C-alpha cells in the first residue's frame, strides 16, 4: 500500500501550477519580475522560470475553469490594489477545498494512491467545521470593507476624531466577542485613512453593541461602521431614499437606546445618527448585511456629500 496525503498533492502539484499561472497573469499586467516575486513569495530567479514556462504545470488544474477564474481574480486584485497576500491565500484555500471535494485534487490523489479508487473518499471534506467557515467569511468581509474605506479619498473628512471602525457579526452572534472589527480603530493620518491591523473578533465593543442591537430587530443586519455626523452626509442618505434614524447619544444603555429607536421605527434603517452631547462626538452608523455592503454604502454617501459622486 502506498501512503500519500492529499496535502502532498497540494504542495507538489497544485501550488507550482497556481504560482506559474499567477506569475504569467501578473507578467501580462506589466508587473516586474521582482514585483511578482514579492507577491507570490518566491525569488526573482524562480519567477523567471515561471514566466518562461520552465516549471511544469498540471493540466487538470490549469485548465479547470475554477482555477482560471480564481487566478484572474487574484491578478486583477493585485493589479488594482484591492487584494493583498492574505486575500490571495484565502482565495486559493477556498479553491483547494473545492478541489478536494470530488474535484481534481481527489482525482490526482486516487492516481497516487490507487487504494482510494471506487471508495467515494470524502476524508478531506468530512471534517469541515461550519463555524470555522463562518468566521473566515466574516473576517474576510471586514478586511475588504476596511480596505475599501482606506482606498476612498472622500472618506478622509468623514472619519470622526474618535476614529472609524467597521464590524460584522457571526450569524448566531450573542455578545461582542462574536463581532469582528479592526483592533485600534481606523484613523485619519496626513490626509489618508489608515487601517492599523487585520480584523479580530471582540476588537470593538462600540460597533459590536450597534450590530447586536440591530440584529435584535433584524437578524440580517449583521454589519455596521461609524463615521462623523454631518448635514451633508445625512442629505446624501436622503438623496438615496434613506431616511436616517436619530437616537440618543448617551453611552449608558446605548444598545437599549438603539433597540428602542429601531423598534419604534419598525425596521433597521441603513443609517442611524446622533448629534452628540457634552463630551460625546456626533456619530453616524451605516449598516448592512455584510461589512462590505455597509462600506459600499458609506463610500457612496461620502462621495455624494463631498460632491464626488457621478450620477
> Is residue 164 within 8 Å of residue 127, measured between CB atoms?
no
Residue 175: its pLDDT value, please?
93
pTM over 0.85: no
- Per-residue pLDDT, 47: 92
pLDDT of residue 30: 95
Q: How confident is the model at residue 310 (pLDDT cuts 50, 70, 90)?
A: very low
Q: What is the pLDDT of residue 118?
A: 54
Residue 90, CA atoms < 13 Å, CB-side half-sphere: 17
C-alpha 299/C-alpha 255 separation (Å) is 25
When pLDDT is cut at 50, 70 and 90, the band that residue 311 belongs to is very low
Closest CA to 306 of 243, 227, 241: 227
Question: Which residue's C-alpha cell is 437606546?
Answer: 257
Which contiguous run of DSSP H or E holds residue 167? strand 166-169
Q: How high is the pLDDT of residue 117?
A: 61
What is the rounded distance in angstroms from the CA atom of residue 195 to the CA atom of residue 89? 20
**Rounded mean pLDDT of 212-240?**
96
Average pLDDT over every residue of 275-280: 88
Amino acid at each position: 500500500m502506498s501512503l500519500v496525503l492529499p496535502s502532498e498533492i497540494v504542495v507538489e502539484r497544485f501550488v507550482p501550477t497556481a504560482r506559474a499561472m499567477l506569475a504569467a497573469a501578473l507578467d501580462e499586467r506589466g508587473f516586474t519580475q521582482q514585483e511578482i516575486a514579492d507577491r507570490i513569495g518566491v525569488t526573482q530567479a524562480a519567477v523567471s522560470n515561471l514566466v518562461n514556462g520552465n516549471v511544469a504545470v498540471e493540466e487538470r488544474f490549469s485548465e479547470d475553469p475554477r482555477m482560471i477564474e480564481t487566478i484572474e481574480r487574484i491578478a486583477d486584485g493585485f493589479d488594482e490594489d484591492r487584494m493583498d497576500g492574505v486575500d490571495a491565500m484565502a482565495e486559493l484555500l477556498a479553491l483547494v477545498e473545492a478541489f478536494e471535494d470530488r474535484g481534481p485534487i481527489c482525482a490526482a490523489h486516487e492516481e497516487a494512491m490507487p487504494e482510494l479508487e471506487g471508495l467515494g473518499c470524502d476524508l478531506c471534506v468530512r471534517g469541515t467545521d461550519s463555524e470555522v467557515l463562518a468566521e473566515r467569511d466574516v473576517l474576510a468581509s471586514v478586511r475588504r470593507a476596511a480596505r475599501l474605506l482606506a482606498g476612498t479619498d472622500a472618506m478622509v473628512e468623514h472619519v470622526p476624531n474618535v476614529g472609524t471602525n467597521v464590524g460584522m457579526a457571526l450569524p448566531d452572534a450573542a455578545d461582542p466577542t462574536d463581532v469582528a472589527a479592526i483592533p485600534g480603530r481606523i484613523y485619519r493620518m496626513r490626509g489618508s485613512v489608515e487601517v492599523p491591523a487585520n480584523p479580530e473578533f471582540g476588537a470593538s465593543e462600540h460597533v459590536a453593541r450597534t450590530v447586536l442591537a440591530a440584529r435584535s430587530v433584524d437578524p440580517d443586519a449583521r454589519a455596521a461602521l461609524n463615521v462623523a455626523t454631518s448635514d451633508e452626509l445625512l442629505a446624501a442618505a436622503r438623496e438615496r431614499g434613506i431616511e436616517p434614524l436619530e437616537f440618543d447619544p448617551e453611552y449608558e444603555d446605548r444598545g437599549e437606546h438603539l433597540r428602542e429607536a429601531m423598534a419604534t421605527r419598525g425596521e433597521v434603517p441603513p443609517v442611524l445618527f446622533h448629534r452628540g452631547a457634552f463630551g460625546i462626538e456626533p456619530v453616524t452608523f451605516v449598516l448592512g448585511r455584510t461589512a462590505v455592503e455597509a462600506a459600499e454604502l458609506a463610500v457612496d454617501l461620502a462621495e455624494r456629500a463631498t460632491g464626488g459622486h457621478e450620477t
